[in-house]
Structures are given as C-alpha cells and as structure tokens.
Structure 1
Amino acid sequence: METIKEEIKELLNKLVSPYRLKHIMGVAYMSKILANLYGVSELKAEIAAFGHDLFRDVKPYRFLNMAKSYGLELSKVEVKNPILLHGKIAAEFLKKKYNICNDIYEAIYFHTSGCKCFNTNIIGKILFISDSIEPTRNYENVEYLRELAKRDIEKAYIEILKNKIIYAIEKKHLLLYETVEAWNYNIMEVE
C-alpha cells in the first residue's frame, strides 16, 4: 500500500494546483493524527486523504462524461453541480487502477456528502472530518471542531455534518441526498 500512496502523490503533482495540494497535505496531516488517536491504519487514512481531491481541479464539465464512463448513476443535484462528483470519480479511478480496499473507497466516494456507511467506516469519518478541519481551514468554530475531533470522533462527525448542512442552507446550495440520509441515520441512532 505504500507504493499506492507514493503513486497517488505523484499523480497529485500533475493534476492539482499548488493551492489544492496544500489543502490535501493538510488533510493527510490531520488524518494521520486522527488515525493514531483512534487506533486505525495511518497508511489507509493517508491514502484516502491523498485520493479524495485527486480530480477536484478538473473542469466540472468533464465530470459528467467521466461519471458516465464509470457507470455512475447521477442524481439531479449532481447533474446540476458536477463538481460534487469529484470524490466519486476519484474513488472509481483508484478502485480500478489500484483495487483500493472498500473502506478507503467509501471514504473517498462519500467525503463530500458524508454517508450512513461511516458508522462502520472509521476511515470515512476521519477523512470527512479532516477535510473540514485541516490546518488551512479557517471558519467560525473550526478550533472547537479540531479539539472535539481529538476527543470524540462520533460527536465531531455529527457536528461537521450539521455545519455542512447549515452552510448549504445559508448559501442556498442544494443538499446531496447522501448528506440528508447520513444526517437522518445518525440522528435516529442517537435517539
């Protein structure tokens, strides 16, 4: 798996901007911290982090064709906002090229939306959280979320999912169906 990590890093240097690369490295840094805290594979967390935004800088109009080539079923939300497909396309690409394991695949595939599958996929939770709290992120309550992630990954996941939903509503953005499903699933689990 170390070879896969190194090859993905080489791809990143070809496919993403320096700005995006700085973000990805921040996500990898945070993912390693959380992986160590929660006793999961640091290498898996890093591979997920390096892969999550592999295609984020591709022109959005190309995503619909890429998704079609992988046989992805698209929601109306994704057709209207193809940039939301970047994680799914990256997951499919890495699965086909490297046969990445399912927990890394799901983590990358659902890193934008969250997923009810993250209740059993800690790599997914780590990536979802790290993407929102990596060192270059700067928004209200980010320091609180960084500390919470180090103390309670479950609460951090719910709080970050809630923040994403609130942000989308405030900006009048569409919500991915997986986000709504993840929220409802987690709230029902808590009650």
Structure 2
Amino acid sequence: MNFSGAYTTLKREELMQEVQMHMSERRFVHVLGVEETAIALAAKYGASEEKASIAALTHDYAKERPNEEFELIIKRDGYDPELLKYGNAIWHGLVGASMVERELGIEDEEILQAIRLHTTGAAEMSLLDKIIYVADYIEPGRNFPGVDEARKIALRDLDEAVAFETKHTLVYLIEQEQKIYPKTIETYNYWVSKKRGKDHR
C-alpha cells in the first residue's frame, strides 16, 4: 500500500521501521498481522484502508515502553490520576496515542482515537475504532479458544464482533481477577446489551 501523505509524511516502509525500532520482533509480527486484518476489514466495511493501515501499524507503538515513562506522562499531561491505578494494558493505548502524535507526527484524530480505544473499546465507536479493536483480537497470529468463531463473526457483522470480543475479554479479566477499567464495562454494557436487544426483536 502507498500512503497518500494526507495522514503521515512517512512512507509505509518508513513508518514500519519507526514502529519496529520500538518493539520486539514478536510484537512487530503481531502488528503486521493486525495491519493485514484491519485493511481487509476496512475493504469489506467501506472504511479508509490507508487509515486502517496507519492505525494498525501504530496501535502498539508504546506497548513495550517502561511503566515509569507512562507514569511521568500521565502526571505531566493532565490525565485522570485514576489512570495510575491501571497498568500497561490500558496505558499503551490511551497514553500511547499521544506518543504516536508527538513522536511520529500523526495528528489525524480518527487514527489517534482508534489507537486510544483498541484495548478498552467504548460505547461510542467509529467504524475505524471497531476495525482496529477487532483486528487486534483476531489477527492471524492469535491462537486461543474462540478466536476462529470471532473471525467468522467479524466477516459477518462488525458490531457483533465487538460484542463477542468485549464479552470474552471481560470473562478473561474476571477469571484472572484483574482490575477492570471502567471503559471496558461501558463497552460491554453498550455493545453486548445492544446485541441482546437485536436478538430479542
């Protein structure tokens, strides 16, 4: 894919190199899998394939940064202090988007929002938000119980895929007795109950 220059001054290969420098090889393979999936979903559902590519390539840009760096930015940039009670799983999307903006010069709000929401989702999600959220879950390297079903659903109904992923993520977090970020619960309440409403019509 050739980038148009509308959303980043970098060519795709240059953006890939920048991203690759900030992560392990395993993480980078995951990122390329998410990009491949996001472009396919964008093509299917009529979103910008270029934005899907850029958001996918940068969604985990900050994932392997030290916790101290995140904590510093949360305090310095006026994030809700409650955020400090959570860890990298939440920070690398929410705070990572500002690193992408500052360090890579990507300022398109739709792309940045998709990065922010890719682990928690939200009640209000754009088409691109949903694509990155789902692509991150079902990319070819993922292998866990239910992923094949998630892939089938994603090709049939993106909203249903968001609901499926959110429900299963929440079950996993509860089983692990992990602290649940409020936005994840909002996502569940909105998308899973919306799906139930559809099923009962």
Normalising by structure 1, report the TM-score. Answer: 0.90
1:140 to 136, 145, 158: 145
Cα deviation for residue 188 of structure 1 reads 4.8
Quote how far apart the aligned CAs of 1:27 are. Answer: 0.5
Match of 2:32 among 12, 22, 25: 25
Select the residue among 159, 167, 171 that pairs with 2:172: 167
Where 1:117 maps in the other structure, the secondary structure is coil
Answer yes or no: is 1:12 the counterpart of 2:57: no
Tell me, yes or no, if structure 1 residue 58 matches structure 2 residue 68: no
Q: Which runs of 5+ in 2 are unaligned?
A: 1-6
The aligned counterpart of 1:35 is 42
Q: Which amino acid aligns with 1:165?
A: L
**RMSD across aligned positions (CA):** 1.7
How far does the alpha carbon of each residue in 1:6-45 deviate from its partner, in whole angstroms, 9 at most, with x for none? Answer: 3432221211010110111111011011000001100101
State the AA in 1 paired with 2:155: K
2:161 alignment counterpart: 156
Per the alignment, residue 126 of structure 1 pairs with: 131
Q: By how many angstroms is 1:140 displaced?
A: 0.5
Contact 2:164 2:192 in 1 (8 A): no
Answer whether contact 2:118 2:129 (CA < 8 A) is retained: yes
Tell me if 1:112 matches 2:103.
Answer: no
Question: Cα offset for 1:47?
Answer: 1.0
Q: 2:96 aligns with which of 78, 90, 94?
A: 90
* Range that drifts further, 81-90 or 42-51: 81-90
Q: How many residues align?
A: 187
1:79 to 75, 81, 84: 84
Q: CA deviation at 1:156?
A: 0.5
Q: Structure 1 vs Structure 2: percent identity of aligned residues?
A: 30
Aligned equivalents of 1:46 and 1:5: distance in 2?
12
Contact 1:115 1:178 in 2 (8 A): yes
- Higher helix fraction (1 or 2): 1
**Alpha-carbon distance in 1 for matches of 2:53, 2:109:** 15
* 1:177 paired residue number: 182
Whether contact under 8 Å (1:63, 1:82) holds in the other structure is no
Aligned-pair distance for 1:149? 0.3
Segments of 5+ residues of structure 1 without an aligned counterpart are none
Closer/same/farther in 2, CA of residues 35 and 74 from structure 1, 3 Å limit:
farther
From the CA coordinates, give the structure whose radius of gyration is larger.
2
* TM superposition score normalised by structure 2: 0.86
